[in-house]
């Protein structure tokens, strides 16, 4: 398959090998960045530069090796020239790719780049236009799941198509076959990601059950999908999207148990219950991999999830109409644009509320295991517990009262369980010498949660604070930087703090500079700090800084 990028096209090569000098290495898949136009199905021989996948450079940083292995990719490759061994083209796959590009261009022209990027991601699984600021906004508020191709898409496209054929009295076998073909075409069109494959496999099992006269069981479908994906690529177990996708479905199944055992009727309570169960299953894993949690996630999902299906429908419908005649797609796509702009406004509003994001640090794995064991025990007790009989009105009232008490008790117990499971490793005094590429960065962590940075910049890593420093701080659950020392103003020492002043969720409590007035870069940083009311101090030999149970002394220079 291939994906169009800003500077080059991403080509995914399968059934391939890598030749380095005289050695030939078999590969599952290679990601090639290429400027030559190739078609899906071509067999090519590429010369260029191979890049091995890097593990995380610091604790909390993005693990490139782990991520690409989970996607079945062994190497990155920067192609310089291409030799065509065969120009045979997979006409159907190439046709889908070209139509996908046409729809994305239609979104851009009709909606503007910002909302077109979100809709392209939601409908077609293409993240090329998705702006980092919007992606971060969705992640911080806990609605980034609407960007993934998942069960909602399958239900709208697959089940919608199935019901339409059912109304036309199309025979069961034929409508099931046509619905399966439609959803498989959509899977190819959207890139066939892990969550897409999981949803498609479960939908196909549902159709098969209908054809052979068997009832569909969600847990069976989930288990078979997991077996298939792990058989295809055993490394997928380490992919966060794989884990969260399956946990979300388990959360929905758990809500069914809760709704029945608690006699919760349809309406807002049912929506709160479903949303709450999904969050209960996914929150610990989100904290484990991302080190922070959106505090108001249930409430914002209650506002946004009921309308997400409408946005998807408008995006799909508008795209199909626009392919026929661009003017026809204008109204549906404008409707989708308006709703996406409303989502952004709601997200920004929630982020302004106090304590909108809770920095948890990385919880201990043993506590997470304990959390899920207890959660499974609670659901088992609710499912197999005795259900009182409804005989008299007074008995029904007593039962309702018991359910209220049970809900309150379960809520309090769950909050206690969640708090317990979010505990991090015990704090200890340590000095982290960070890998920032060509540059310098040191972090001193105290036993009582203090954090002191010394420099933090790079001349070869872009956005070094965002990608190397801030994730490490969040990994340790740091909510503030007590002091940030700068030794001198070279860019490979100060680029990180300039970035942090512009946009960081972790406040800097004080800036400490050397006793010089001729360094223009340091004077610029001093002005930036003063504009944000950050105290600026000068350090001289003999000065001391106390932070909790440790002390820093300035020895040099005189």
Rounded distance, CA 116 to CA 387, Å?
A: 50
Query: By C-alpha distance, which of 407, 490, 487, 415 is closest to 453?
Result: 487
Residue 398: predicted pLDDT: 52
Residue 448: predicted pLDDT: 81
Rounded distance, CA 286 to CA 245, Å?
A: 12
Place of tokens 């693990």: 63
* Encoded tokens for 49: 């530069």
Q: How many CA atoms lie less than 13 Å away from 341 in the CB half-sphere?
A: 10
Rounded distance, CA 183 to CA 159, Å?
A: 9
For residue 29, give the 3-state DSSP assignment. Answer: strand
Report the chain (558 residues): mean pLDDT per 10 consecutive residues: 81 90 88 90 92 91 92 90 91 89 91 90 87 89 85 82 89 91 89 87 92 90 93 90 90 82 70 83 89 87 86 90 86 92 93 88 87 85 60 48 62 72 74 93 89 92 92 91 92 90 86 85 91 90 83 82
302 touches 346 (CB < 8 A):
no
For residue 142, give the 3-state DSSP assignment. Answer: coil
Rounded distance, CA 415 to CA 417, Å?
A: 5
Q: Which bin fits 89, alpha (ψ -120 to 50), beta or left (φ > 0)?
A: beta
* Encoded tokens for 319: 């795209």
Strands (E), 205-364: 292-294, 357-359
* Encoded tokens for 151: 């069960």
Q: What is the pTM of this model?
A: 0.85
Rounded distance, CA 66 to CA 56, Å?
A: 9
Query: By C-alpha distance, which of 181, 183, 121 is closest to 157?
Result: 183
Contacts of 270 (CB under 8 A, 6+ apart): 259, 264
Tell me how many degrees the CA angle 215-219-225 measures, rounded to the nearest 5.
100
Query: By C-alpha distance, which of 11, 249, 286 is closest to 138?
Result: 286
Task: State residue 178 phi and psi, 5-degree precision.
Answer: -65, -40
For residue 299, give the 3-state DSSP assignment. Answer: helix
75 touches 52 (CB < 8 A):
yes
Go through the chain and tell me how many residues it has: 558
* Encoded tokens for 477: 């659950």
Q: Which bin fits 81, alpha (ψ -120 to 50), beta or left (φ > 0)?
A: beta
Rounded distance, CA 455 to CA 462, Å?
A: 16
For residue 293, give the 3-state DSSP assignment. Answer: strand
For residue 191, give the 3-state DSSP assignment. Answer: coil
Give the residues across from 454 on adjacent strands: 442, 485
162 touches 150 (CB < 8 A):
no
Query: By C-alpha distance, which of 76, 6, 74 is closest to 35?
Result: 6
Say what angle helices 194-212 and 218-232 make with each other, to 10 degrees: 130
* Encoded tokens for 449: 């949660």
233 touches 241 (CB < 8 A):
no
* Encoded tokens for 65: 């090796």
First to last CA, the chain: 62
423 touches 368 (CB < 8 A):
no
Query: By C-alpha distance, which of 558, 555, 496, 497 is closest to 526?
Result: 497
For residue 230, give the 3-state DSSP assignment. Answer: helix
């Amino acid at each position: 398959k291939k994906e169009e990028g800003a500077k080059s096209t991403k080509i995914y090569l399968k059934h391939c090998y890598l030749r380095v000098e005289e050695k030939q290495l078999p590969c599952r898949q290679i990601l090639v960045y290429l400027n030559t136009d190739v078609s899906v199905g071509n067999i090519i021989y590429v010369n260029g530069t191979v890049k091995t996948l890097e593990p995380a450079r610091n604790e909390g940083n993005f693990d490139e090796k782990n991520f690409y292995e989970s996607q079945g990719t062994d190497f990155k490759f920067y192609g310089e020239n291409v030799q065509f061994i065969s120009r045979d083209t997979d006409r159907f796959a190439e046709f889908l790719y070209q139509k996908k590009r046409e729809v994305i261009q239609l979104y851009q022209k009709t909606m503007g780049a910002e909302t077109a990027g979100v809709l392209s991601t939601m409908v077609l699984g293409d993240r090329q236009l998705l702006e980092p600021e919007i992606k971060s906004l969705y992640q911080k508020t806990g609605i980034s799941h609407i960007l993934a191709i998942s069960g909602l898409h399958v239900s709208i496209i697959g089940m919608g198509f199935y019901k339409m054929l059912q109304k036309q009295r199309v025979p069961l076998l034929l409508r099931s076959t046509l619905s399966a073909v439609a959803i498989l075409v959509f899977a190819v069109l959207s890139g066939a990601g892990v969550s897409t494959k999981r949803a498609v496999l479960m939908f196909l099992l549902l159709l098969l059950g209908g054809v052979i006269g068997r009832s569909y069981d969600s847990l069976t479908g989930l288990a078979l999908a997991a077996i298939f994906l792990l058989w295809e690529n055993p490394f997928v177990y380490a992919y966060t999207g794989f884990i969260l996708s399956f946990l979300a479905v388990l959360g929905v199944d758990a809500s069914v148990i809760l709704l029945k055992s608690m006699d919760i009727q349809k309406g807002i309570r049912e929506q709160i219950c479903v949303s709450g169960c999904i969050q209960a299953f996914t929150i610990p894993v989100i904290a484990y991999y991302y080190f922070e949690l959106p505090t108001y996630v249930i409430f914002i999902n209650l506002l946004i999830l009921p309308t997400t299906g409408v946005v998807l429908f408008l995006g799909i419908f508008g795209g199909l109409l626009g392919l026929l005649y661009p003017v026809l797609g204008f109204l549906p796509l404008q409707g989708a644009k308006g709703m996406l702009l409303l989502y952004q406004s709601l997200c920004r509003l929630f982020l302004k509320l106090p304590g909108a994001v809770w920095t948890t640090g990385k919880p201990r794995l043993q506590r997470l295991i304990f959390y899920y064991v207890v959660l499974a025990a609670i659901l088992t007790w609710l499912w197999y517990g005795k259900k009182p009989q409804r005989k008299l009105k007074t008995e029904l009232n007593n039962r309702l009262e018991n359910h209220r008490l049970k809900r309150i008790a379960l809520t309090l117990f769950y909050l206690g369980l969640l708090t317990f499971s979010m505990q991090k490793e015990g704090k200890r005094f340590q000095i982290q010498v960070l890998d920032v590429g060509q540059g310098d960065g040191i972090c001193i962590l105290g036993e009582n949660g203090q954090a002191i940075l010394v420099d933090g910049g790079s001349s070869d890593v872009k956005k070094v604070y965002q990608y190397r420093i801030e994730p490490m701080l969040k990994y340790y659950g740091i909510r503030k930087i007590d002091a940030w020392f700068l030794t001198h103003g070279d860019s490979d020492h100060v680029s990180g703090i300039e970035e942090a002043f512009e946009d960081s969720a972790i406040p800097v409590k004080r800036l400490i500079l050397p006793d010089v007035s001729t360094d223009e870069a340091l004077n610029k940083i001093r002005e930036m700090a003063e504009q944000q009311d950050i105290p600026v101090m000068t350090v001289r030999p003999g000065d001391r800084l106390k932070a909790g149970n440790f002390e820093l002394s300035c020895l040099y220079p005189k």
